[in-house]
Amino acid sequence: MLVSKKIVLLVSFFCIICFNQVSADTLEVKKLMLNFEKVLMKNPVKAIEIGKLAQKKLSADIPEQLKAMVLTRIAYAFVKSGDPKTAITYLNMALPHAKGDNLSLARVYEIFGVVYTKSGELNLVIENLLKATAYFEKSGVSDKIWSIKQNLGICYAQIGQLDKSLQYLKEVLKINEKLSKNSESNASAYLNLGVVYEMTGHLDSTLIMYSKAYAILLPKGNSTSLAMLLNNMGTVSVNLKKYADGLKYLNKGYLMMLATGDKQGAVMAMNNIADVEDGAGNLEKALRYSRRAYDLSDSLHLIKDLIFSCDRLAKTYYKLGDTKSAYLFSQKYSKLKDSVTTIDGQKQIAEMQTKYETDKKEKEIALLNKDNLLHTEQLAKEKNFRYSLIGIAAMVVIIAILLFYSLKSKQKTNKQLDIQNKKISEAFLIIEEKQKEILDSIHYAKRIQTTLITSEKYIEKALERLTKK
């Protein structure tokens, strides 16, 4: 009974130690990953270093979900650092640990989608984001679904499947409205829907979506994105023949672009305003905005915007009856356009030349590789032939050595047999001599015996004669 109690105590003590060790390791990994998240956005390379330290501590006792999370976040850091290939390697490492846990799988496939977004492989992006959506829905975690569905909507729009794009973006809008009606994510959903509606030609719906996005972003203050949104609202309004609204939005956008330092955007906005004013017959206003656009694009060396401004100025001056200025800007327009065409032509020629040289080098490399391959094959054949000769020669030498040693051994054996035969012959001679000596002794003894027998008979006869006497 006492022994049993001691065993129970020892087992309990061991379990407590193991539990504490596992908890310590898990806590250490979690601590490292907190540091990882702090530096990820500013310094993904540093985040990778921290992530790898956490990876080294992923012992067998660490929960599988935590392992999957660590490897997935390291993959995302590699995406941020511009190394999608290594990111995919880490995601493939994370998948076995994520199996059985819907949330972990959703996160892995979400990052797969991000990786393929960077490489522009939209079909793979959609494939992985659909998997991520399915696993997020199974997990019951909905905070990520809206962003994934929004990305799906954008991807479908990019590949021209506008109906599917609208379907997903509308779903995003419903999800966001449940979470927060005035969130920036909601503004993003309205913007994306507006863009797709514009692509489908539904300009009224486009303007409604843009206006809702504008209402959410306006309290946030001036920004480049808000200024661009105003510019888009202006152009859509003009296309709907709502010129007053269009000018109002375009002017607001123009002033906001100047305030935020977006000079190139300001040039675009001024040219748009000039177009609208010209169309409305306000030629002096159109001229004023065109001149501003021309001066700013000239100072910024924006050649294409400068060409557009020259064309706009030439037409406006002509309408105003200033043929001299119209001719002057018409000449500038032609020269700039020709120079751009020449530059584009030169670029095209340079690209063609580069392509030709590249193709030529590739062919040369292919031929060299072919020659190298043939040469390598020839060398391999020669090498194999040499090795075969060496092998045959080695076999001949080995056989000769074996035969030599066999002959030597045979000669040695024969010599030993000769010696043994000689010894046997000598032994036989000795034996024959001994036998002869023995036989001679026997014959001699026999003669003596015969002589004795003869003498005895003689004596007996002599005695008989004496007795008779």
> What is the three-class DSSP state of 10?
helix
Mutual orientation of helices 64-80 and 2-40 as an angle, nearest 10°?
Answer: 20
Per-residue pLDDT tens digits for 190-201 = 888 999 999 999
0.75 surpassed by pTM: no
| Those residues with Cβ within 8 angstroms of residue 376's Cβ, 6 or more apart along the chain or in another chain | none
Query: Residue 116's domain is classified under what CATH number?
Result: 1.25.40.10
Distance in Å from the first CA to the final CA of the chain: 133
Residue 401 lies in a domain: no
Residue 198 lies in a domain: no
Average pLDDT (256-277) is 88
Kindly state whether residues 136 and 255 are assigned to the same domain: no
- What is the structure's pLDDT at 465? 61
Reported as type and span, the H/E element at residue 259 is helix 243-260
Question: What is the sign, positive or negative, of the torsion defined by CA atoms of 52, 57, 58, 63?
Answer: negative
Reading the block at residue 266, the tokens are 């300001």
- What is the structure's pLDDT at 302? 86
Per-residue pLDDT tens digits for 306-328 = 898 899 888 989 988 999 988 99
| Those residues with Cβ within 8 angstroms of residue 233's Cβ, 6 or more apart along the chain or in another chain | 207, 210, 211, 214, 249, 253
Residue 90 lies in a domain: yes
Mutual orientation of helices 162-179 and 184-200 as an angle, nearest 10°?
Answer: 160
Domain hosting residue 62, numbered range: 26-141
Domain boundary, last residue among 298, 316, 351? 351
Reading the block at residue 39, the tokens are 């530096």
- What is the structure's pLDDT at 9? 40
Kindly state whether residues 257 and 345 are assigned to the same domain: yes
Residue 182 lies in a domain: no
Q: How many structural domains compose the chain?
A: 3
Kindly state whether residues 347 and 437 are assigned to the same domain: no
Kindly state whether residues 131 and 232 are assigned to the same domain: no
Kindly state whether residues 230 and 346 are assigned to the same domain: yes
Q: Is the pLDDT of residue 364 over 70?
A: no
Average pLDDT (408-436) is 62
Domain boundary, last residue among 141, 159, 192? 141
Kindly state whether residues 339 and 461 are assigned to the same domain: no
- What is the structure's pLDDT at 382? 63
Kindly state whether residues 338 and 431 are assigned to the same domain: no
Question: 290: closest CA among 252, 333, 336, 257?
Answer: 333
Kindly state whether residues 347 and 428 are assigned to the same domain: no
Compute the distance between CA of residue 248 and CA of residue 243 in angstroms, rounded to an integer.
8
Compute the distance between CA of residue 296 and CA of residue 288 in angstroms, rounded to an integer.
12
Compute the distance between CA of residue 233 and CA of residue 211 in angstroms, rounded to an integer.
8
Residue 382 lies in a domain: no
Long-range CB pairs of 125-130, under 8 A, 24+ apart, other chains included = 125/151, 125/155, 126/152, 126/155, 126/156, 126/159, 129/155
Residue 6 lies in a domain: no
* Measured CA angle at 103 (ends 100, 107), to 5 deg: 115
- Window from 101-115, 257-271, 329-343 with minimum mean pLDDT: 329-343
Domain boundary, last residue among 141, 166, 192? 141
Residue 375 lies in a domain: no
- Establish how many alpha carbons lie within 13 A of residue 280's alpha carbon, considering only the half-sphere containing its beta carbon: 20
Residue 304 lies in a domain: yes
Average pLDDT (446-468) is 53
Reading the block at residue 324, the tokens are 């001299």
Kindly state whether residues 344 and 432 are assigned to the same domain: no
Kindly state whether residues 247 and 335 are assigned to the same domain: yes
Question: 88: closest CA among 54, 64, 112?
Answer: 112
Q: Is the pLDDT of residue 260 over 70?
A: yes
Mutual orientation of helices 224-239 and 184-200 as an angle, nearest 10°?
Answer: 30
Residue 302: Cβ within 10 Å count: 18
* Measured CA angle at 114 (ends 113, 117), to 5 deg: 85
